[in-house]
Amino acid sequence: MKVDEFLDEYKKFDEEAKGEYVKSIINTKYVSYATKISDCKRIIQSTSYTNTDPNMFCMNSPARHMLLNLQMIERYTDLEIDYNNALNIYDMLDEVDAITGILGCIPFKEASNYNHIMKMMLKDFRMNERSMIGYLDSKLASMKILGESLDKIMEEVSV
């Protein structure tokens, strides 16, 4: 179901009926762990980038929050999310407090797991990609590959 179709119906109801209507569009009780990891990875990749200055790294936490909420809504409901229009869709849902209603109907354990996986993956990303230790590890790995290549060249030359 398209979001605007959902909202046309949603706006007609009183608060109690809205809750029942939201429950009626919930179509999934469980999303696999691998899917949650994949979703979170994709969101982190799309909200972490190098600015115009290649030495400056940026993270867009508000976009990450919005995308995670929309991803959960898409995974657990009949709603089709057009990510090319994500900000507008988010605003349309948020304006009538539908996001809170929908997320509140997703099983608590599931929403909690999504959020926990996102936090773990962000911590890993910062440690592996952005910390001094991660930087040094990547440089040392590059130097090892270079050293192994030089060793092979030296063996071939000496033969």
Q: Which residue has the tokens 């919005």?
A: 66
pLDDT at 81: 96
pLDDT at 39: 98
H and E: helices and strands count for the chain: 8, 2
Angle between helices 86-95 and 61-76 in degrees, nearest 10 = 70
Q: What tens digit of pLDDT does each residue of 129-158 get?
A: 665 665 666 666 677 777 777 777 777 777
**pLDDT < 50: residue spans in the chain:** none
